[in-house]
Structure formats: structure tokens, C-alpha cells
Amino acid sequence: MNQDLSILHLVLNASAVVQLVMLLLVVISVSSWAAIFRKLFALKRVKSLNDGFEREFWSGTSLNDLFGAAAKNARHSGPMERIFASGMREYQKLHERKIIDASTLMDGARRAMRASFQREMDVVETNLSFLASVGSVSPYVGLFGTVWGIMHAFTGLASLQTVTLSTVAPGIAEALVATAIGLFAAIPAVVAYNRFARDIDRIAIRLETFIEEFSNILQRNVGAQSASGH
């Protein structure tokens, strides 16, 4: 007996529960791919903005000019520029209050930059937990559909007097499609999660390095102002 075992035929002839599981997995897969592309473009933009600001920062432009530009370009600036602006803003506020103690100035600037760093990392890590959830849960959702489909297939075989491979195969094949769709949703999410997690770690290390370098520059400025004041 020749039977149509194409994927489309198997999906259309699966039980309602298995079809619902397949539909859920397709929706999850589409959402996962959308999140992957959004994150890919977002991380590229972050890297480009950080590169541009870092070149400007080390080009010899004065800190006040950089701070003025960062204030005007707040909406379109990158994480590194916003961290710089937050540290510089706090430093200037404390300086305007006639605070001359070097440790107080530096602690205030560092705390402001650390708080800004945490906010920036929260934004950069958006959707990462979603991809992790898709990668870990989708195979189990697909497996649930497979188990249910096999149970449904064997229940239908109970009324048959003669059971052959041709009667068993369609039901089992329908059920296994759910697992295949689950893996199709999970594998890209896991690969993307690992890639993005590595890229985000590099961004975090780069931002932390910048905070330390900028802190050293502020420290030298405070030392120079203290020396000139004496």
C-alpha cells in the first residue's frame, strides 16, 4: 500500500494536540529568528558606536568638548559614550560643589559610571534569556507532541485485528514531526545564544576597561588641579 508520507500530509493528518504543539513551535521559531536578527543588528550598532567614540576619545579632544558632544547626542550615542557622560557629569557636579578631596571625586565618578554600565548591560542583554528559553524548552515541547502522537496512534491501532508496518508508520511519523520542529526551533536559538553571549562578554570587558582608563585620566586631572591649587 502506497501512502503519502510527505511532511505537509503528516502535519495535516496529525491529531489536534500534535497540530497545536507544531503551531506553537512554529510561532516560537519565528519569534526566535526575529529576536536573533534584532540582536545581531543591535550588537553591530553598539560595536560601531563604541568604536567611533573610542577613536574620538583617544584623538586628543578635550574632555569638556567630548562631554558637550555627548550631551547633545544623548539619544544616538553608544554605551561607552553614555558611560563617559555619566562619569563626567558626576565629576563636574562634585567639582562645582567645591569638593577638592580626590577620593570623593573619584568615588563619585566611578559609582556613576558603574551604575550606567549596569543599565547599558541590561539593555544589551535584552532577548538573550528568551533565546536561552527557546533553546532549552523547545525540544521538550516537541517531545511532548511526539509522545502524545504515538499514544494517539497506538490507541487507534487497538481496534485493528491485523497490525502491519504500513498501519503503524503514518501515526509514528506524524508524531516524530513534532520533535523535528522542536529541534528546528531550538538549534538556531542555542547557536545564537552562545554567539551573542560571547559578544556581550567582549562588550562588557571593553566597557570595564574604558571605565578604568577614564578613571585614571580623571585621577591625573584631580592630582594636577590639587598641585596647581597648592
Count of structural domains, the chain: 1
Asked, for residue 1, whether it belongs to a domain, the answer is: no
Round the average pLDDT of the chain to a whole number and report it: 86
Residue 226, pLDDT score = 60
Mean pLDDT of 121-139: 94
Asked, for residue 15, whether it belongs to a domain, the answer is: yes
pLDDT at 145 over 50: yes
Asked, for residue 33, whether it belongs to a domain, the answer is: yes
Residue 175: name the closest of 58, 17, 57 by CA: 17
Most trustworthy range by pLDDT among 65-74, 129-138, 148-157: 129-138
Distance CA 75, CA 73 (A): 6
Asked, for residue 153, whether it belongs to a domain, the answer is: yes
pLDDT at 151 over 60: yes
Mean pLDDT of 168-173: 70
Work out the percent of the chain whose per-residue pLDDT is above 70. Answer: 84
Residue 34, classified by CB atoms within 10 Å of its CB into exposed (0-12), middle (13-18) or buried (19+), is exposed
Residues spanned by the domain of 30: 7-229
Residue 102 and residue 226 in contact, taking contact as beta carbons nearer than 8 Å: yes
Q: How confident is the model at residue 155 (pLDDT cuts 50, 70, 90)?
A: confident
Residue 156, pLDDT score = 67
What's this model's pTM, rounded to 2 decimal places? 0.81
Asked, for residue 130, whether it belongs to a domain, the answer is: yes
Tell me how far apart the terminal alpha carbons of the chain are, to the nearest angstrom: 100
Residue 128 and residue 189 in contact, taking contact as beta carbons nearer than 8 Å: no
Distance CA 69, CA 33 (A): 36
Pick from 13-17, 64-68, 78-82, 156-160: least confident: 156-160
pLDDT at 9 over 60: yes
Residue 103, pLDDT score = 84
